[in-house]
A = this chain, B = another copy of it.
Amino acid sequence: MKFGLFGAATAQRSANPDVDSAAGFKDYIEYVIEAEALGYESSFIVEHHFTGFGQVSATLNLLTWLGAQTTTMRLGTAVLVLPWHNPVLLAEQAATLDLLSGGRLDFGVGKGYRHNEYASFRIPMEEGQARFEEAVDIITQAWTSEQRFDFRGKFWNFDDIVVEPPTKQKPHPPFWQGAGHPDSIKRVAARGHNLLLDQFASIDETMRRFNVYRDAMIGNGFGFHPHQVGVARAFFVANTKAEKDAAIERRMAAQKRLHDISQRPDQNNTASIMAFSDTREANEEATLFGTPDEICAKVERLRAQGVEYLLLNGGGTSRENLRRFAKEVMAHFRDEDPIKAAAD
């Protein structure tokens, strides 16, 4: 079983010269470096723009810095929002990172869900899906074409291009997409892309989605490996029930803030992956919050149904949480664990 991380870093803007705006990025980088040493597999980072609180905007640049300071950690985007980017420049940037890192890029992509980002870039939100699909087409061709080619699309045109440098991974770095609705999941499987499942859905709902994807991938002739699905979960290793309860309260407040940021003017945001159940019970069920034994039981429940790759979010960069999860939870599920291996 594999365990990765997903999350965000922030760089605080301040008029006060004593504030180190890089502190948030540096802390995240050190967190990921320690995570690699503890055996975490990957780190997926968001892309956002114009937030006012310094979320990561140049995701591939931060990942490139991380790549140069790590050796095995896979470097993921969750997700690059394709409608913002010239797809050829993005293909070049991603290929450069893949090449320099020895093939460690996980190329997570999406169409974006924040109304204010669409508004600021002045791109009609209703063009999002079509722009996304066209960008995936160009990028895939750019990475796999051995010859110069022309591209004619609705949004982009290029003449006589060859996209360099080549990627390290062949035929190209894996694409990952987030999806929740069965139709969306089937679109991901139609491309043969890997799947990111969100941290908010219940275990039962997550498994329904997992199975829709698995069946579609097999039906489409791509075959299926459980490592092609990253199941996101929030995690917090608690010593006591009071600690756990406090963590759930913090999480619900943070979700509310994210929900508000991504809100559309018509308040109709239920189609986004940010939609969530805001009851305490739903939060407790969907998260890996609790004592190591409680968390292990939940991970076992996911694993028993086929999940082999969890992407964890600690809601920050607590080293204590990172270390305890590695030593008291991950250690029980490592494939190289001799006890597990003998029992399997």
Contacts and interface: CB of A to CB of B under 8 A. Distances in A.
Interface string A71-108: 00000000000001110110011011101101000000
Interface of A: 11, 13-15, 17, 21-22, 25-26, 49-52, 54-58, 60-62, 64-65, 67-69, 84-86, 88-89, 92-93, 95-97, 99-100, 102, 116, 119-122, 146, 148, 157-166, 168, 170
Given A15-B146, A57-B165, 7 more contacts: A11-B165, A13-B164, A25-B99, A49-B88, A50-B160, A61-B97, A85-B89
Nearest to A22: B99
Contact of A84 (B51, B86, B100, B157): B86
A13 B168 CA distance: 10
Given A54-B165, A62-B96, A162-B52, A22 B102 contact: yes
A227 to B, nearest CB: 23
B122 A92 contact: no
A22 B97 CA distance: 10
B93 A164 contact: no
Contacts of A25: 96, 99-100, 165
A51 B148 CA distance: 10
Contact of A158 (B122, B157, B164): B122
A157 B122 CA distance: 7
B120 A159 contact: yes
Nearest to A117: B161
B13 A165 contact: yes
Contact of A51 (B68, B164, B168, B170): B164
B122 A62 contact: no
